[in-house]
Structure 1
Amino acid sequence: MATVAKPEEIVRQLWVYRLLNEYNYPKERIDVERVIYFGSRDSGLADIVVLQEDLQHPYIIFEIKRPQRTAGLEQLKSYCNAEGAPIGIWSNGNETIRLHREEPNIFVEIPRIPKAGETLRDILTERWTLRWLEEHDELKQGKTTLKKILLDLEELVLGNAGVDPFEETFKLIYAKLYDEWRGINDPYYQLEFFVGDRSPEQVKRAIANLLEGAKREWQGIFEPTDKIELRNDHLKICVSFLEKIKLFNSNLRIIDEAFEYLIPQVSKKKEGQFFTPRPIADMAVKMLNPKADEFIIDPACGPAGFLLHSVMWVAGGMISGKPLPENARNFAQNKIYGIDFAKKAVKIAKAINLIVGDGKSHVYKDNSLAPHTWEDETKSGLRSRLLRFPNNLEKDRENQEKFLYFDFDVLITNPPFAGTVKERDILKLYKLAERNGKWENKTERHILFLERSLQFIRPGGRMAIVLPQGLLNNTNAEYIRRFIIDEARILAVVGLHVNTFKPHTGTKTSILFLQKYTDEEKEKTQQTKAKYEGEWEEFLKKLKEKYQDLTWDSSVAEQEIPEELNSFLETYFESREEIEELPEDVAESEETEETEEENRGKKTLNVLVQEKSELDEVLREKQEELKSANPARKAELRKEIKTLQSKINKLTKEISQRTLAGQISLVLNEDRITSAFKKYWLDGKVMQEIDYPIFFAVNEKPVKDESGDYRYKKNPDGSLVLDEYGHPVIDHDLDEIAEAFIKFAKEQLAKGDNHFDFWR
């Protein structure tokens, strides 16, 4: 009977085949399932052992796992220590880790497995050029990722090294980028970021020199006193794992993935700040088509993905460390700006931005929502981009002091979703923090970022912002949608797949593309509203006649309420309640030690009605007593009646806000609410007049799978599809969406719609 080979057996047989045919080891030097002894009692089975030429002592020991298995590194090291084998290979068929045992419990990676006839020294003393690194780059063809390498390093070194993994890895990557940059700019340069047969002290000296060179070349990332804190032996292990990958590549996505992994999960959840997948950034940039002479900003820039893709777009291709075309170089140096409040994200953004911008960066660590708290460096860097108001000197002077309105042509951002803003001095800067004429106690951060983004762009400027889809759909977000329509033309809405920001969040999101109205368009809107003033007065008069005798407890036929009024009620008051039969003991049972104000916020409509009924009864008794009271008592009673009446009026208003009839009565009789309804009604008329086409699309092919890993295109034989630079291609439909929008934009432009003139 035929038997089916287990997955790990298939991987093992493939390695035996390669050892015989690719590495040219004779059959007698290869042993399978060799017993390894750990003293007198314990033993284990090594999957494959390549023997020394004496056919006695192990030279290379293999630990083989099935394709999806990742454990076994410690077992491999214990086999090598037990037998004194200088080389250990871990493989699951998809990934391979090559370890050189320098001494017990110290293992470093080597760039390749020695062939028969080669010594370990031959491998360790190879001096690499950038061309060699490009040919052997393990990030190509999907052999590994920088994130997987860092996972291995965490298991081997970083987890117990007593250092900040982010800071030390950042220094190493920065030093390696500098080493590659020197190789790009000098074809005769031999790379220094490698282990070879150098001692830990020699490796430390080489890497420290690279870091110092990077600090001199790209100033502004590290403090002058910053240095590598890793122990020499730990540093050598880390370098051995990083030496055979090339970091300068077509889109820098690999660096994003690595740092996204290194930033602690608790920080991501607290700040709600997740790295935007590069294909999303690529699509948004393509659709907005930033030009080389335009200024662009991301006010929540994270690692600057949107900004770097804008540079790539202007450059017409990849960022590889080679000099950019002159227009793209000027764009990178002078036109792109970023702000973020997360220290580590800014550090990444500055580093990559400095490298791409050839030593210049406009990335600042500050809170975009709170310009009054900005550091002098931020204010100095952004002052030249402030919007000027030559016809309003007072507003111009105020803007120079408060840094509210800017003159950027393009904005692309993915603001943090988590958390709310409670600081009153911040909330008072934003219309969206005001509801129904009152300042909110707190407002979700991304809602304020929507308004702040519009403040950053000039009239006529365009923007793209990632938002929770609920802001575009939910009934209670109607006020936000009306704010958008008041301020900007909606160009497009792209719904993103629910997997987009996994594994951190499954929030359904969309990208909203807007173009801010010019002053002329705003004036046209005001003229439209003025045109309907008379019609509004007539509409309001008829409503007041219809509902003139209405009180909070009147019966109202909901189906007879005019559509505009009903829609406003749902938006303004958000909810309403029905009055139910109230048990006699409810009011008493509700009493607590809380203050009356705290308690009232928790009371049901029924309890409020009961309270009002009791106060009405007390008021009647006091009024009756007033008729026959002596002068001294009358003065007291009048004060008591006045206080009672005030309480009843307050209760009546609160009850009215919760009933349909009461809400209608408030709209028609309270000037502040009537004014809000008037604006709502006139806005509706404007929307009817400015009806325009909007591009809608849905991302159906997610960039990530359920677990948050990227989905790659595969050939019919199962191998990965590679791009022209040798990197795996992510499987998604975002390019098609961008192309469809570009076609749509050009069609609208051909029809005379100048809102799409950025595609002229």
Structure 2
Amino acid sequence: MTNNSRPKTTQIFSASDVKHGLSLFMDREIRTVEGLIIERDGKFYIKCQIKDKYKVAKPEEIVRQLWVYRLLNEYNYPKERIDVERVVYFGSRDSGLADVVVLQEDLSHPYIIFEVKRPQRTAGLEQLKSYCNAEGAPIGVWSNGNEMIRLHREEPNIFVEVPRIPKVTETLRDILTERWTLRWLEEHDELKQGKTTLKKILLDLEELVLGNAGVDPFEEIFKLIYAKLYDEWRGINAPSYKLEFFVGDRSTEQVKRAITNLLEGAKREWQGVFEPTDKIELRNDHLKVCVSFLEKIKLFNSNLRIIDEAFEYLIPQVSKKREGQFFTPRPVEDMIVEMLNPKADEFIIDPACGSAGFLLHSVMWVAGGMISGKPLPENARNFAQNKIYGIDFAKKAVKIAKAINLIVGDGKSHVYKDNSLAPHTWEDETKSGLRGRLLRFPNNPEKDRENQSKFLYFDFDVLMTNPPFAGTVKERDILRLYNLAERNGRWVNKIGRHILFLERSLQFTRPGGRMAIVLPQGLLNNTNAEYIRRFIIDEARILAVVGLHGNTFKPHTGTKTSVLFLQKYTDEEKEKIEQTRAKYEGEWEEFLRGLKEKYQNIAWNSSVDDEEIPEELNSFLENYFESREEIEELLEDVVESGETEETEEENRGRKPLAVLVQEKSELDDALREKEEELESANATRKAELKKEIKTLQSKINKLTKEISQRTLAGQISLVLSEERITEAFKKYWLDGKVMQEMDYPIFFAVNEKPVKDESGEYRYKKNPDGSFVLDEHGHPIIDHDLDEIAEAFIKFAKEQGFDFWRQ
């Protein structure tokens, strides 16, 4: 006999392999069924309320008995109308056992069939539909104890969801003919208490109709959600309005007519998302199924996160991986908005806006609360209509962003479909919409005219973005717009898209403006990204770095990311930095003279003690040159073998250093032979030899430079002899002096409580009994520590006197 004092159900359901749950049931129901469980010989058994026999108390059996209890006590069906493990015959084929069956009043024919043994939706729904078809049952219910799907079998193989299970005193028609107001929908919203999610509903629809409907699931679900938002919006603005987005007892044609009317109303009210000719392409019977599943959820909730989850699911996985475009979890957006504290009179932009989460949360921040579909406070309404801007290159993401933006902004939107990195390719609509936000240069007419033409620099107060991580930019016309695409005086062949987004974000932000950008963590840590960090420090003050948990963007990617918060220097701060540089000019000249004296006879193959190299020079060499190789070992290889094999470097299009050294040695020998021949040659031959010697010398010089770039001594000689590289080192050295003088505190934090679990599902706060902790709107609260990080930063910002958090 065990002495475990925990409730028996808690012990049974705590095993890691349990797929069923209890969240659909109330505490009093669970306590009552708990009383049916006994322990015998170290095992738990539960008494069946119908057959009055004990069975092994497996999780699925407990869920079955909970449903039996509810049927008996809430729905008031008499015991004789309920059967368990009832045999279902499939014609001449084999039979199956239906878990729970509610019989018609004739006590012979099934009325409601329950499937609780199969916890996975796909297998459970298929089994349930086959039972309903075999027995002609009009209602089927699938449940694993955490979730529930109620299906009405209208005719063979056509199932729609019904809003609730009828009680013994109700007919199915009573359920189907109910009309709802928005208040009723709020009270019965199935997204409350964590009963389901929009994403799960879409999984069900994909299984039932979307998988083989022959339409673009994104486009059709988007139309339905747009129509439903309009239906709810009408209910918000007219409390007595009866919702039209429902199935009830209407025919497929009536449902199609009602939803088409809603979509047309939405298109008139919120123009600019659909073409006038766009219409619902779903077949009537498929449309009816979709509406039946969506009718009992309320989309206008505290932050519209559910819509994000739905569209993130609908956008094909392959494009997400290719483009590296992942929706930012709303708690991350909340944290960033709270830390940057956008004001009602400030202009905001997200140049990779996706579904416009940052923009939406900025509106919520200014409004002081949730977005419910009701008119916003005047300052927030003006902010939503005139101050928030978004750009994204993904058509579907822009469609979502535009729709939400139009609804929140009461019919106005500044969201554009274009590539933020390539302003020379922008559509006229984008240029027209953003022209008013171009930064002006009154003291530099030529730069001002150029900017009006090229759309490079903007006047936004706040920027928040999560740019695409994947992919590189190779187009020369784009690369030439960015300083970060230039390395060692020449344009790179390609560069990570997110790196250019960092510089582009600074271009969008006005002097003194602030920004936050989500970046791969390596960009802030890796040695080979030093030049990027130097660029950042040249352009802006680092306010904060927040490391996000590795689960943040799962299931799409486990890339570790950080949020970088910057405040762009004002013109006055830039001037102060230049003054600091000027102050150290003399010290630089002295430092350079010392280096030239120390290394006056250095050549690419000289022996150098790396411990004696000044720290600033060594750091610059590691940052400026691609790599460094040990010349002594390479020379030994050449001497010993006399030849070299093809290596990985050759495969990359770069000759191994040993090959270059060998080639130079052969050219040196050839040059010596020519010079010796020159001494005794006749006049005609001398002229030819001089040309040949000049050509050889040119080749040797070019090879010497190429070799020097890859040896320690050679790199030092180039720094001291090549004017361009000397200037780059000077800037690097002076940057170091500026950083020493600035030496300001930076806020660092790490997100230790992830918003998602390993599988990419949100983690919710739970009560001691295992139920979800709910917010004031009845929705489960995500469990994370990002709010605490934001609060800690705000305290830090006020202590530092940041102007956007000044008390």
TM-score relative to the length of structure 2: 0.91
Alignment root-mean-square deviation, CA: 2.0
Measure, in 1, the Cα distance between the counterparts of 2:278 and 2:645: 57
- Sort the Cα spacing of 1:581 and 1:291 in 2 relative to 1 into closer, same or farther, 3 A: closer
Contact 1:91 1:97 in 2 (8 A): yes
- Give the superposition deviation at 1:443: 1.1
Measure, in 2, the Cα distance between the counterparts of 1:585 and 1:365: 57
Contact 2:109 2:135 in 1 (8 A): yes
SS at structure 1 position matched to 2:687: helix
- Sort the Cα spacing of 1:211 and 1:649 in 2 relative to 1 into closer, same or farther, 3 A: same
Contact 1:180 1:191 in 2 (8 A): yes
- Give the superposition deviation at 1:87: 0.4
- Sort the Cα spacing of 1:583 and 1:458 in 2 relative to 1 into closer, same or farther, 3 A: closer
Measure, in 1, the Cα distance between the counterparts of 2:774 and 2:651: 64
- Give the superposition deviation at 1:628: 2.1
- Give the superposition deviation at 1:10: 1.1
- Give the superposition deviation at 1:596: 16
Measure, in 1, the Cα distance between the counterparts of 2:751 and 2:474: 34
Measure, in 2, the Cα distance between the counterparts of 1:541 and 1:596: 40
Q: What stretches of structure 1 of length at least 5 have no aligned partner?
A: 749-755
SS at structure 2 position matched to 1:727: coil
- Sort the Cα spacing of 1:163 and 1:586 in 2 relative to 1 into closer, same or farther, 3 A: farther
User: What do residues 588-617 of structure 1 show as CA deviations (whole Å, max 9, x unaligned)?
Assistant: 999999999977943221121111111111
SS at structure 2 position matched to 1:514: strand
- Give the superposition deviation at 1:125: 0.3
Determine if the alignment matches structure 1 residue 379 to structure 2 residue 431. yes
- Sort the Cα spacing of 1:69 and 1:227 in 2 relative to 1 into closer, same or farther, 3 A: closer
Q: Partner residue of 1:264?
A: 316
Contact 1:464 1:511 in 2 (8 A): yes
- Give the superposition deviation at 1:637: 2.2
Contact 1:70 1:92 in 2 (8 A): no
- Sort the Cα spacing of 1:358 and 1:69 in 2 relative to 1 into closer, same or farther, 3 A: closer
- Sort the Cα spacing of 1:83 and 1:32 in 2 relative to 1 into closer, same or farther, 3 A: same
Measure, in 2, the Cα distance between the counterparts of 1:361 and 1:590: 70
Measure, in 1, the Cα distance between the counterparts of 2:649 and 2:68: 79
- Give the superposition deviation at 1:538: 0.3
User: What do residues 536-580 of structure 1 show as CA deviations (whole Å, max 9, x unaligned)?
Assistant: 000000000000011111111111111111111111114201135
SS at structure 2 position matched to 1:189: coil
Measure, in 2, the Cα distance between the counterparts of 1:562 and 1:644: 36
Contact 1:274 1:504 in 2 (8 A): yes
User: What do residues 311-353 of structure 1 show as CA deviations (whole Å, max 9, x unaligned)?
Assistant: 0000000001111100000000000000000000000000000
Measure, in 1, the Cα distance between the counterparts of 2:781 and 2:652: 59
Pick which of 471-480 and 139-148 moved more: 471-480
- Give the superposition deviation at 1:42: 1.4
Contact 1:494 1:511 in 2 (8 A): yes
Q: How many residues align?
A: 750
Contact 2:671 2:697 in 1 (8 A): yes
Contact 2:638 2:662 in 1 (8 A): no
Contact 1:580 1:606 in 2 (8 A): no
Contact 1:587 1:611 in 2 (8 A): no
Pick which of 487-496 and 640-649 moved more: 640-649
Measure, in 2, the Cα distance between the counterparts of 1:409 and 1:401: 22
Determine if the alignment matches structure 1 residue 548 to structure 2 residue 594. no
Measure, in 2, the Cα distance between the counterparts of 1:590 and 1:511: 53
Measure, in 2, the Cα distance between the counterparts of 1:37 and 1:587: 87
Measure, in 1, the Cα distance between the counterparts of 2:605 and 2:645: 30
- Sort the Cα spacing of 1:430 and 1:587 in 2 relative to 1 into closer, same or farther, 3 A: farther
Measure, in 2, the Cα distance between the counterparts of 1:690 and 1:294: 28
User: What do residues 74-101 of structure 1 show as CA deviations (whole Å, max 9, x unaligned)?
Assistant: 1111111111100001000000000000
User: What do residues 700-720 of structure 1 show as CA deviations (whole Å, max 9, x unaligned)?
Assistant: 000011111100000011000
Measure, in 1, the Cα distance between the counterparts of 2:580 and 2:239: 66
- Give the superposition deviation at 1:618: 1.2
- Sort the Cα spacing of 1:300 and 1:600 in 2 relative to 1 into closer, same or farther, 3 A: closer
- Sort the Cα spacing of 1:621 and 1:596 in 2 relative to 1 into closer, same or farther, 3 A: farther
- Give the superposition deviation at 1:374: 0.3
Determine if the alignment matches structure 1 residue 252 to structure 2 residue 252. no
**Mapping for residues 588-627 of structure 1, pairs under 5 Å:** 601-627=653-679
Measure, in 2, the Cα distance between the counterparts of 1:79 and 1:590: 81
Measure, in 2, the Cα distance between the counterparts of 1:689 and 1:667: 25
Measure, in 2, the Cα distance between the counterparts of 1:348 and 1:587: 66
Measure, in 2, the Cα distance between the counterparts of 1:596 and 1:278: 45
- Sort the Cα spacing of 1:586 and 1:115 in 2 relative to 1 into closer, same or farther, 3 A: farther
Measure, in 1, the Cα distance between the counterparts of 2:752 and 2:431: 42
Contact 1:587 1:607 in 2 (8 A): no
Q: Partner residue of 1:752?
A: none
Measure, in 1, the Cα distance between the counterparts of 2:676 and 2:374: 93
- Sort the Cα spacing of 1:733 and 1:582 in 2 relative to 1 into closer, same or farther, 3 A: closer
- Give the superposition deviation at 1:581: 5.1
Contact 1:339 1:367 in 2 (8 A): yes
Q: Partner residue of 2:5?
A: none
Pick which of 576-585 and 732-741 moved more: 576-585
Q: Partner residue of 1:698?
A: 750
User: What do residues 251-276 of structure 1 show as CA deviations (whole Å, max 9, x unaligned)?
Assistant: 11100000000000111111111000
Contact 2:129 2:157 in 1 (8 A): yes
Contact 1:24 1:116 in 2 (8 A): yes
SS at structure 1 position matched to 2:631: coil
Measure, in 2, the Cα distance between the counterparts of 1:647 and 1:108: 79
Measure, in 2, the Cα distance between the counterparts of 1:102 and 1:639: 95
- Sort the Cα spacing of 1:68 and 1:633 in 2 relative to 1 into closer, same or farther, 3 A: same
User: What do residues 117-159 of structure 1 show as CA deviations (whole Å, max 9, x unaligned)?
Assistant: 2100000000011011101100011000000000000010000
User: What do residues 618-641 of structure 1 show as CA deviations (whole Å, max 9, x unaligned)?
Assistant: 111122222222333333322222
- Sort the Cα spacing of 1:615 and 1:63 in 2 relative to 1 into closer, same or farther, 3 A: same
Contact 1:253 1:278 in 2 (8 A): yes
- Sort the Cα spacing of 1:360 and 1:588 in 2 relative to 1 into closer, same or farther, 3 A: farther
Contact 2:201 2:293 in 1 (8 A): yes
2:803 to 748, 757, 760: 757
Q: What stretches of structure 2 of length at least 5 have no aligned partner?
A: 1-55
**Structure 1 vs Structure 2: percent identity of aligned residues?**
91
- Sort the Cα spacing of 1:591 and 1:377 in 2 relative to 1 into closer, same or farther, 3 A: farther
Q: Partner residue of 1:521?
A: 573
- Sort the Cα spacing of 1:588 and 1:151 in 2 relative to 1 into closer, same or farther, 3 A: farther
Contact 2:644 2:658 in 1 (8 A): no
SS at structure 1 position matched to 2:632: coil
SS at structure 2 position matched to 1:339: strand
TM-score relative to the length of structure 1: 0.96
Measure, in 1, the Cα distance between the counterparts of 2:437 and 2:672: 66
Pick which of 592-601 and 424-433 moved more: 592-601
SS at structure 2 position matched to 1:661: helix
Contact 1:256 1:303 in 2 (8 A): yes
Contact 2:637 2:658 in 1 (8 A): no
Contact 1:287 1:741 in 2 (8 A): yes
- Give the superposition deviation at 1:67: 5.2
SS at structure 2 position matched to 1:710: coil
Contact 1:284 1:738 in 2 (8 A): yes
User: What do residues 155-200 of structure 1 show as CA deviations (whole Å, max 9, x unaligned)?
Assistant: 1000000000000000000000000000000111100000000000
Measure, in 2, the Cα distance between the counterparts of 1:689 and 1:582: 43
SS at structure 2 position matched to 1:118: coil
Measure, in 1, the Cα distance between the counterparts of 2:635 and 2:730: 41
Measure, in 2, the Cα distance between the counterparts of 1:586 and 1:592: 7
- Sort the Cα spacing of 1:30 and 1:352 in 2 relative to 1 into closer, same or farther, 3 A: same
User: What do residues 620-679 of structure 1 show as CA deviations (whole Å, max 9, x unaligned)?
Assistant: 112222222233333332222222212111111111111111111111111000000000
- Sort the Cα spacing of 1:588 and 1:343 in 2 relative to 1 into closer, same or farther, 3 A: farther
Measure, in 2, the Cα distance between the counterparts of 1:120 and 1:597: 74
Pick which of 590-599 and 711-720 moved more: 590-599
Measure, in 2, the Cα distance between the counterparts of 1:151 and 1:91: 15
Contact 1:619 1:645 in 2 (8 A): yes
Contact 1:11 1:66 in 2 (8 A): no
- Sort the Cα spacing of 1:78 and 1:592 in 2 relative to 1 into closer, same or farther, 3 A: farther
- Sort the Cα spacing of 1:82 and 1:67 in 2 relative to 1 into closer, same or farther, 3 A: closer
Q: Partner residue of 2:759?
A: 707
